[in-house]
Chain A
Amino acid sequence: GENVEQHPSTLSVQEGDSAVIKCTYSDSASNYFPWYKQELGKGPQLIIDIRSNVGEKKDQRIAVTLNKTAKHFSLHITETQPEDSAVYFCAANTGGFKTIFGAGTRLFVKA
C-alpha cells in the first residue's frame, strides 16, 4: 500500500547550520508533497509544499526538492534558528483524498 518513509527520526544541529530531512514515497501516482511543522503542544502547520511538475521550491530559509524518478523529496532548512526546533512531517498525496504522512523528524537546534 501507500507508504512514506522519513529520515532521520531525530536531528540535532548547531544554530546557523543547515538541516536536511529526507522522505521516500511508494506510490508513483503521488503528485503533491506538503511539509508540516508541529511545535510542542500544537497541531501541525503547513510550511511548504511542492507539486510533482516542479523540481524545487524555496521560501526564504526553507526549500524542498523533488526527484520523481527516485521517488525522493527533501526539506532543507538553512541558517537554522532555535525557533526551528519542532517535529517536521513530510507527506504525499496521489491527487485523491488521502494524505499519507511520514513518521516525523524531531529537529533540535542548539543555540
Chain B
Amino acid sequence: DSGVTQTPKHLITATGQRVTLRCSPRSGDLSVYWYQQSLDQGLQFLIQYYNGEERAKGNILERFSAQQFPDLHSELNLSSLELGDSALYFCASSATGTSSFNEQFFGPGTRLTVL
C-alpha cells in the first residue's frame, strides 16, 4: 500500500459527460501528479500540483482540469468526454516540489470507461 488513495476505483459514463476523479496524497507529501495510462501505452504525464499551486503541465487536454485543495487532496476534472478518454488515471505524490531524485508514490488508479 503506497499510502495514496484514489476514488472511485471504477467509473463508467457516456460521451459528453463530465466526471471528477479524486486523490489523497501520502501523509506529508506536498506534490500531486496526474497520469493517464491508455491500453498498451505508457504513463502520460498530465499535470502536477505542489502545495496548492500548479507546478508543471504535460499533455493535458483543454477539456481536462485539476486543482489541489488546502488539505492537499487533488481532483482531476474531465469534461465533454470522448471514447478516447477511456483509460486508467493514476495519481502520484511526492514529498517535495520536484519529481527529480524524488520517488513518486502511485495510487491504485481510477479506471474510466466512456461508452
Using CB atoms and an 8 Å cutoff, list the residues of chain A in contact with chain B: 6, 31-32, 34, 36, 41-46, 49, 51, 89, 93-104
Contact = CB atoms under 8 A, between A and B. Distances in A.
Interface residues of B, number: 27
Given A34-B104, A104-B41, 14 more contacts: A41-B108, A43-B108, A44-B90, A45-B2, A46-B104, A49-B101, A51-B101, A89-B42, A96-B100, A97-B56, A97-B99, A97-B100, A98-B99, A99-B45
Task: Report whether over half of chain B's contact residues are helix, strand or loop; otherwise say mixed.
Answer: loop
Contacts, number: 67
A96 B97 CA distance: 9
A33 B56 CA distance: 19
Interface string B51-67: 00001101000000000
B43 A89 contact: yes
Nearest to A100: B45
B107 interface: yes
